[in-house]
Amino acid sequence: MAYKKKTREDYQKEVQDLTDKMEAQLASHFVSQESIKEHLDFMSRFHRYSTRNMLLIEEQFQGARAVGSYAYWEKQGVQVQKGEKGIKIFVPSPVTFIKRDTDWVAWKDATKTEQKRAQEGALPTRKAMYYKIGHVFEYTQTDAREKGLEVSELFASYHRNGSIREAESFRRALNGIAETQDVTLLEQPLNELGTAKGVLLSRAERDRTESAELGHRKCHRPDP
């Protein structure tokens, strides 16, 4: 069977379908406090990924523990099992444009002369971020277990005893969830907490408290 090259419209539909899945997955987390906590626990395992890619991974592979691209697994000496279907995610794809008269053309579509003049600063350029669809594979989709390789060993640089290593990345993701609820998370309270002069919480305690409050707000906030 001959391979049919995807058209621009095919790619646009695929991106839109993936976006719809992401939005549906996000909405599913605000059913209860418990669902939000489950999602935050999932996020703690995938803090290297953007919030929307976390949602896509979760939607396509419930219970995922660790994922990597085909090239990543190969680099670890691990092979993706034959017939396994990749998990779709959005991959950043920056594009440089060169000014041609009154139009902007992508670098790859510019002439060699235009590219040379742009490098020399003789032609204006600008950059734009686009996203293409890439694929990652979950740990259980590989032969890592058969080779005796555990997740903690393969992803040692990203995890430490099951805790969040990149706390700021997790914090940014938590803020992303808050924004969907029209909530701003503050580093410091605007007023005193009752009769207390202050409160000291560890980062983990603070994040757990805030995630619970987000769930509480959703459960008791009437729909518009």
- Give the pLDDT confidence of 31-88 residue by residue, as tens digits: 566 666 666 666 667 767 887 888 889 889 988 888 999 999 999 999 999 999 999 9
* Range of 140-154, 176-190, 194-208 with top mean pLDDT: 140-154
What is the percentage of the chain residues whose pLDDT exceeds 90? Answer: 34
Instruction: For residues 216 and 129, give the distance between their C-alpha atoms in angstroms, rounded to a whole number.
Output: 36
Instruction: For residues 166 and 75, give the distance between their C-alpha atoms in angstroms, rounded to a whole number.
Output: 23
Q: What pLDDT was estimated at residue 88?
A: 93
Q: What pLDDT was estimated at residue 63?
A: 85
127 CB-near residues (< 8 Å, 6+ apart):
94, 95, 96, 97
More confident site: 62 or 174: 62
**Using an 8 Å Cβ cutoff, are 119 and 68 in contact?**
no
Residue 62 sits at φ, ψ, to 5 deg, of -60, 130
* Beta sheet of 103-106, edge-to-edge order: 67-68, 125-138, 87-100, 103-106
In the numeric block, which tokens belong to residue 177? Answer: 């969830």
Beta-bridge mates of residue 132: 91
Instruction: For residues 9 and 7, give the distance between their C-alpha atoms in angstroms, rounded to a whole number.
Output: 5
**CA 96 to mean position of chain CA atoms:** 23
CB atoms under 10 Å from CB of 12, counted, come to: 11
Question: Could you tell me the CA-to-CA distances from 21 to 35, 65, 208 in Å, in that order?
Answer: 17, 20, 27
The residue-averaged pLDDT of 112-125 equals 96
In the numeric block, which tokens belong to residue 122? Answer: 């003789």
**Using an 8 Å Cβ cutoff, are 93 and 11 in contact?**
no
pTM of the model: 0.58
In the numeric block, which tokens belong to residue 112? Answer: 């060699």
Instruction: For residues 36 and 29, give the distance between their C-alpha atoms in angstroms, rounded to a whole number.
Output: 5
Whether pLDDT at 90 is above 70: yes
**Using an 8 Å Cβ cutoff, are 104 and 176 in contact?**
no
